[in-house]
Structure 1
């Protein structure tokens, strides 16, 4: 506030000090000093906003004194009063003492008052600027710390170790390949059925690469027609096509310095493949409706559930684009080929579902896990996630059992025992194969209860155990998770 600002006036003439106090006293707190020594004593106790000093004083001149002030008390705004207009004095005042304003005598009271008001305003602005600068430095430091912490959490969230798999899982080989290629700026093509975790692997590659501090952006290439897909990836100018109401920055430009993930790349049309190939070859994009191209520095990770080599042979996918994308191919096997991972994945998905649905469910019953392991999961991890969420939503206890499982999954698992009997070299082998599946299905239905299975099949307990031994159904893995052989199940 200007009415609280302190103005220090220095003049060796008492009448001048009285006049200055009278002119400035209504707006400011005015402190007076008759010379440099007295002024320095005041500065040791008070911090004025403005110092108004006469140039001609015994001892130090005004410029010499304000030069000392500049060295020891740089914050106050410094002003000179002088009855002389020597140009050398003015230059010295400006250059040596950092004088804000040189006021010649005789001065006009109103003009002097306005000059001091402006100086006080400048003082407050300087203090605000200093405070903001300090705050920005602190904020920048804090922001860097926050960004580093978030980046560390993201890397942990999307790191290779976050890809759930059991020891000896077929997925381990794909992860090992991805780890090795992450450090190198090569294009990667991830193949595998829908829902096998291709996006998760792509993110892990990005966040464990030298481009980790850049952006990771993705686009489902099979979800949009060519024109919209081109606009999304390369950008567009306003009016380039119907619906282009504003300039759009494409994902390639947004991902410059980082990674772009092109999912379902096998769904693109031959016409779009030509445009994408040009971008990959030249490292340049041209937004729709633009005349000039723009350079981009992007690593491409593509994914598809199609056999692109077969697509190339059939003429549906350009061979040159395929070799551009498949700089380092990685295949993710379907969930049915990694049954050992299913219990671990189910536990992870259970934690997600509990948090999402806010429902306390602790674990799976062994019978439920047995069914989950036995099911073929044509929708892979995506289907497993949906099933676990459904089970949690229906759960009435803290343990998820068969009662809350989808009937279609239970029927499919039970029906597997009677399906897929392969032709054998003899009638006996075919009969034994069918018998094995019937016994397995009965064990599953009765949760491994030997007495009940024997009654259903018309066998003695000894006879049933003999068949179980013959077909090696005595282990839990061979019983599709049923590990009870006691009468009480």
Structure 2
């Protein structure tokens, strides 16, 4: 079994430390410290991958502490927590201490967990990259072949035909449109609800284009303050603003020759929109504090969970930028509008989860797939992924149990069965056929409601265990 990453939590407030521990204890080996001095003592004896530090501490600030960590333990990924939102402080933290992520209080447990998981994965990749660099010096030809092999695997895994969907999926039309536009260097706008897979489609678009051997860079425009977003995308010169202690190469320049994906583009400010428009018009960026423009050759793919045309009408988004970004646009239908995709996506997500949780024998039964297909999934694929993980964690048997579905999914299944029951009660046919259909429906409804506890089901229906088993076999309901 894989060893859990080690995370050091630094906060002088015991209650804050307790909250951090409760959020992270299931996924990491945790060490806690109430001061920077105590944290440094732990670092001298333990192998730590990630540090989460509060900014306000009595002996020194979190930035000052993490700056020392950066000098003495540069491989550790550093995260800071703060209740203050001053842009200068954020930029200073990012530059002085090499902060991986700056989280504002009050933090949300799920957001913190995802951030620390990402930091731990970054540390793993950095260590792997360092090992590869060492090996590269002695076996460059072999490693070059491996890099090419990996690149080919990524391209194949991200190709459009690997987008999981049913043969008759409404998503087929979206994929066909993106395949047609892929060879042409025009901006693409992908609209759709959160969690429908907009980034996945953007990545697939990149890997079927002639830019596939160049970088694919992702930036969530809603995740940063305006000044920091400008610096992140366009770069900055040392001394251009408070906290800019060294030159920074922006993501547009890093993506030169490739594709940049701007997620949540509708959340940007009018001032930033004006600067982005100039980049798209001129094909060049100007780092903050620089008088010299830099030419870049980048394809821009943007995404939003809102309707940009509505934002234009409301005066919240520049009309000229909208037309620049939407030279070609597609709308990704939500999962509730393509229920035929749900079994395919659910099984694909299960395969991913099985590898992560080391449950290779787990399968989704017919009953579970029926329940999943009956639900509307307001959180789309992202929510479905969480539901699959829940099933895998809570179920002991190789075939996952419907009783471990969340309450809202089971309720949707019950409502769907009631509708089916009403339909069956009115279908034509002889009396025995109608009675059999009604009995089958009642048994299905009771099984779902009682979470497949067959003893309780038999008792409620007035059947013996043997009698219930015979009826389950007769109606094809046996799991």
**Alignment TM-score, normalising by the size of structure 1:** 0.59
Q: Tell me if structure 2 keeps the 8 A contact 1:226–1:269.
A: yes
Q: Tell me if structure 2 keeps the 8 A contact 1:186–1:327.
A: yes
- What CA distance in whole angstroms lies between the structure 2 residues aligned with 1:267 and 1:441? 48
Task: Tell me which residue corresponds to 2:293.
Answer: 293
**CA displacement, residues 155-175 of structure 1 (integer Å, 9 cap, x when unaligned):** 111111210011110000101
- What CA distance in whole angstroms lies between the structure 2 residues aligned with 1:184 and 1:484? 57
- Could you tell me how far 1:277 is from its partner in structure 2? 0.3
Task: Sort the Cα spacing of 1:356 and 1:313 in 2 relative to 1 into closer, same or farther, 3 A.
Answer: same
Where do residues 387-426 of structure 1 align in structure 2 (5 Å cutoff)?
A: 387-415=387-415
Task: Tell me which residue corresponds to 1:106.
Answer: none
Task: Tell me which residue corresponds to 1:16.
Answer: none
Where do residues 372-387 of structure 1 align in structure 2 (5 Å cutoff)?
A: 372-387=372-387
- What CA distance in whole angstroms lies between the structure 2 residues aligned with 1:443 and 1:265? 49
Q: Tell me if structure 1 keeps the 8 A contact 2:238–2:247.
A: yes
**CA displacement, residues 224-263 of structure 1 (integer Å, 9 cap, x when unaligned):** 1110100110001122223322211000000010000000
- Could you tell me how far 1:140 is from its partner in structure 2? 5.4
Task: Tell me which residue corresponds to 2:168.
Answer: 168
- What CA distance in whole angstroms lies between the structure 1 residues aligned with 2:136 and 2:344? 46
Task: Tell me which residue corresponds to 1:194.
Answer: 194
Q: Tell me if structure 2 keeps the 8 A contact 1:448–1:485.
A: no
- Could you tell me how far 1:355 is from its partner in structure 2? 0.8
Q: Tell me if structure 1 keeps the 8 A contact 2:362–2:397.
A: no
**CA displacement, residues 435-475 of structure 1 (integer Å, 9 cap, x when unaligned):** 88xx89856523599xx99x999xxxxxxxxxxxxxxxxxx
Q: Which runs of 5+ in 2 are unaligned?
A: 1-134, 427-437, 450-455, 462-471
Q: CA RMSD in A?
A: 3.4
Kindly indicate whether residue 189 of structure 2 is the aligned counterpart of residue 184 of structure 1.
no
Task: Tell me which residue corresponds to 1:222.
Answer: 222
Task: Tell me which residue corresponds to 1:204.
Answer: 204
| 1:363 alignment partner, SS class | coil
**CA displacement, residues 160-211 of structure 1 (integer Å, 9 cap, x when unaligned):** 1210011110000101111111111111101111111110110111111111
- What CA distance in whole angstroms lies between the structure 2 residues aligned with 1:282 and 1:456? 73
Task: Tell me which residue corresponds to 1:156.
Answer: 156
Task: Tell me which residue corresponds to 1:471.
Answer: none
- What CA distance in whole angstroms lies between the structure 2 residues aligned with 1:483 and 1:253? 64
- What CA distance in whole angstroms lies between the structure 2 residues aligned with 1:139 and 1:223? 40
Q: Which runs of 5+ in 1 are unaligned?
A: 1-134, 420-431, 458-481
Q: Tell me if structure 1 keeps the 8 A contact 2:391–2:404.
A: yes
Task: Tell me which residue corresponds to 1:271.
Answer: 271
- What CA distance in whole angstroms lies between the structure 1 residues aligned with 2:193 and 2:321? 21
Task: Tell me which residue corresponds to 1:281.
Answer: 281
- What CA distance in whole angstroms lies between the structure 2 residues aligned with 1:484 and 1:335? 33
- What CA distance in whole angstroms lies between the structure 2 residues aligned with 1:233 and 1:368? 44
Task: Tell me which residue corresponds to 1:369.
Answer: 369
- What CA distance in whole angstroms lies between the structure 2 residues aligned with 1:390 and 1:417? 23
- Could you tell me how far 1:404 is from its partner in structure 2? 1.6
Kindly indicate whether residue 436 of structure 2 is the aligned counterpart of residue 445 of structure 1.
no
Q: Tell me if structure 2 keeps the 8 A contact 1:221–1:267.
A: yes
- What CA distance in whole angstroms lies between the structure 2 residues aligned with 1:443 and 1:304? 44
| 1:446 alignment partner, SS class | helix
Task: Sort the Cα spacing of 1:203 and 1:136 in 2 relative to 1 into closer, same or farther, 3 A.
Answer: closer
- What CA distance in whole angstroms lies between the structure 2 residues aligned with 1:484 and 1:204? 46
Larger Rg: 1
Q: Tell me if structure 2 keeps the 8 A contact 1:196–1:382.
A: yes
Count of equivalent residues? 317
Task: Sort the Cα spacing of 1:281 and 1:357 in 2 relative to 1 into closer, same or farther, 3 A.
Answer: same
Task: Sort the Cα spacing of 1:441 and 1:223 in 2 relative to 1 into closer, same or farther, 3 A.
Answer: farther
Where do residues 52-201 of structure 1 align in structure 2 (5 Å cutoff)?
A: 141-201=141-201
| 2:245 alignment partner, SS class | coil
Q: Tell me if structure 2 keeps the 8 A contact 1:160–1:201.
A: yes
- Could you tell me how far 1:145 is from its partner in structure 2? 2.3
Task: Tell me which residue corresponds to 1:344.
Answer: 344
Q: Tell me if structure 1 keeps the 8 A contact 2:414–2:448.
A: no
- Could you tell me how far 1:360 is from its partner in structure 2? 3.2
- Could you tell me how far 1:330 is from its partner in structure 2? 1.3
Where do residues 245-264 of structure 1 align in structure 2 (5 Å cutoff)?
A: 245-264=245-264
Task: Sort the Cα spacing of 1:279 and 1:399 in 2 relative to 1 into closer, same or farther, 3 A.
Answer: same
Task: Sort the Cα spacing of 1:446 and 1:270 in 2 relative to 1 into closer, same or farther, 3 A.
Answer: same
Where do residues 234-249 of structure 1 align in structure 2 (5 Å cutoff)?
A: 234-249=234-249
| 2:359 alignment partner, SS class | coil
- Could you tell me how far 1:406 is from its partner in structure 2? 1.1
Task: Sort the Cα spacing of 1:200 and 1:184 in 2 relative to 1 into closer, same or farther, 3 A.
Answer: same
- What CA distance in whole angstroms lies between the structure 2 residues aligned with 1:170 and 1:252? 33
